[in-house]
Amino acid sequence: MFHPVSLIVPLLILLPNLLFFQLEPQNMPDKTTRNSFFTGAEFIGRMGVIIVPLFCSLHMQNGLEVLALIVMLLSLGIYYYGWGRYFRNGRPYRLLFTPLMGIPVPLALSPVLYFLSASVILHSGYLLIFSLILGAGHIPASLSDYRRNA
Task: Flag whether 30 is in a domain.
Answer: no
Give the number of other Cβ atoms within 10 Å of residue 49's Cβ.
27
pLDDT tens-digit profile of 37-65? 999 999 999 999 999 999 999 988 999 99
Task: Flag whether 36 is in a domain.
Answer: no
Task: Flag whether 80 is in a domain.
Answer: yes
- Is pLDDT above 70 for 32? no
Where residue 89 falls among pLDDT bands split at 50, 70, 90? very high
Average pLDDT of the chain? 93
Instruction: Count up the domains in the chain and report the number.
Output: 1
Task: Flag whether 40 is in a domain.
Answer: no
Q: Give the residue numbers spanning the domain of 11.
A: 4-22+46-149
Task: Flag whether 84 is in a domain.
Answer: yes
Task: Flag whether 94 is in a domain.
Answer: yes
Task: Flag whether 59 is in a domain.
Answer: yes
Question: What does the pLDDT average to over 20-28?
Answer: 85
Task: Flag whether 82 is in a domain.
Answer: yes
Of the CA atoms within 13 Å of residue 11, those in its CB half-sphere come to: 6
What is the value of pTM for the model shown? Answer: 0.93
- Is pLDDT above 70 for 90? yes
3-state SS, one letter per residue, for the chain? CCCHHHHHHHHHHHHHHHHHHHCCCECCCCCCCCCHHHHHHHHHHHHHHHHHHHHCCCCCCCHHHHHHHHHHHHHHHHHHHHHHHHHHCCCEHHHHCCCECCECCHHHHHHHHHHHHHHHHCCCHHHHHHHHHHHHHHHHHHHHHHHHHC
